[in-house]
Structures are given as C-alpha cells and as structure tokens.
Structure 1
Amino acid sequence: VLPELLQKPHRLKIWSAGCSNGAEPYSVAIILQELNVLNRAT
C-alpha cells in the first residue's frame, strides 16, 4: 500500500494513535527507511 501512496503527488501523513511503547511508529519508520523515503520526510 505504501509504495502506491508514495507515488501520488500529495503529502502523506502518518498518525499512530494509542501507541504505548513506541513500537508502532518505529515499525513504520523502518518500513519508510526500507522504501528509501525518509529523506523526503519533514
């Protein structure tokens, strides 16, 4: 799903609600790093 969303011209916003220990956003960050898109993050 993320590769298709990242090809669109709009800005992608990611929100992780209710994360207790930070594992969920960390996992998303790993996926974004593997897709080589963290350098575009603001």
Structure 2
Amino acid sequence: NAMAESINGLYKAEVIHRKSWKNRKRRLSTVWQILKFLRE
C-alpha cells in the first residue's frame, strides 16, 4: 500500500500539477506500466 501511495504522489506531482503530458498514448502507457508493476 505504501508503494501505491508513493507512485500516486509522484503521478500527481509530475503529471497533474505540471501538465507535462502531450498525448493520450503516453498517459495510457504510464498507467499500464504502473498497474503491471503493482500486480507483480
């Protein structure tokens, strides 16, 4: 659970607040990588 909270915090800091994503494909790729990591 701590790992998920850490990733969530980084996600918010880097993506939401900075609005650094240029396209939907990159966003979906990142989400899938996080979900894959959390399932292992």
TM-score bucket (shorter structure): 0.3 to 0.5
| TM-score for the superposition, normalised by structure 1 | 0.44
Higher helix share: 2
| TM-score for the superposition, normalised by structure 2 | 0.45
Structure with higher RCO (Cα < 8 A, 6+ apart): 2
